[in-house]
Chains A and B, each alone.
Chain A
Amino acid sequence: MALKLFEVTTKPISADEVVGRLADPEVGAFTVFVGVVRNNTDGRRTLHLDYEAYPEMAEQTLAQIGAEIQERWPTVRQVAIVHRIGQQEIGETSVVIALSAAHRAELFDSLHYAIDRLKEIVPIWKKEVWTDGSVWRSEQ
């Protein structure tokens, strides 16, 4: 079975595992973005995060981002984006974006584009849970 390149999962995720999905002898470079649960927002202490998704559309929009990248930067060989949902503790990995190419040119710009687009169009929501309350957080 082919490895899934655009996935929303409730299971723990790791950068190494996602990069491994792009293993290819013709690849000479990867760029990887790893999003991790931080212990505060603007100084307010976070207990944990709860991520929720519209899973079918989230995977579809992740794949759309991959297609947009390969159209804009044809030297990018493959894209994988895996987002974890459900409750996550401080220090756990919430998202991994990995891009591969023969050479490093364009890998940094396309990685930046990928995380910006994810925060713009992918239907995933983040609830910050504090000791005394919670809020749905968006950067939009």
Chain B
Amino acid sequence: MVRVRFFASLREAVGLEQEDVKLPAGATVKTLLQTLARAHPGLGALLEGRGVRFAVNRCYVPPDAGLQEGDEVALVPPVGGG
């Protein structure tokens, strides 16, 4: 099980701030995204080519990064601080 956190436009699209997702052993961020896209119609389109980054346990990682039980995974849409 990993905990997924949604922010800003993605939080509004999914209608959740966070969600616990069960994944098979050896899952990567990419596996998680496929699982999420099936569960949330419309989310897949928002994740394609829109500059969404991924953080595992508060550090940016590439989409092929492996996930461990208990990880916190954040979907990070383009940031806009300042």
| A contacts, CB < 8 Å to B | 35, 51-54, 56-58, 60, 83, 94-95, 115, 118-127, 136-140
Which of B9, B76, B81 counts the most A-chain CB atoms under 10 A from its CB? B81
| A-B pairs with beta carbons under 8 A, tally | 69
Q: Which residues of B contact A127 (CB under 8 A)?
A: 8
| A52 interface neighbour in B7, B51, B55, Cβ under 8 Å | B7
Assess whether B3 is interfacial by the CB under 8 Å rule: no
14 CB < 8 A contacts A-B: A35-B82, A51-B81, A54-B55, A54-B58, A57-B55, A83-B81, A94-B82, A119-B79, A121-B60, A123-B74, A123-B79, A124-B80, A127-B8, A138-B79
User: Nearest chain A CB to B7's CB is how many angstroms away?
Assistant: 6
A138 touches B76 (CB 8 A): no
Assess whether B66 is interfacial by the CB under 8 Å rule: no
A136 touches B8 (CB 8 A): yes
Once bound together, how far apart are the Cα atoms of A53 and B1, in whole Å?
A: 24
Once bound together, how far apart are the Cα atoms of A137 and B80, in whole Å?
A: 6
A139 touches B80 (CB 8 A): yes
A60 touches B58 (CB 8 A): yes
Give per-residue flags for B3-35: 1 if the beta carbon is below 8 A from chain A beta carbons, else 0: 001011101000000000000000000000000
Once bound together, how far apart are the Cα atoms of A126 and B51, in whole Å?
A: 16
Give the top 6 A-B pairs by smallest Cβ distance, nearest first. A124-B81, A138-B78, A125-B8, A126-B80, A57-B58, A138-B80
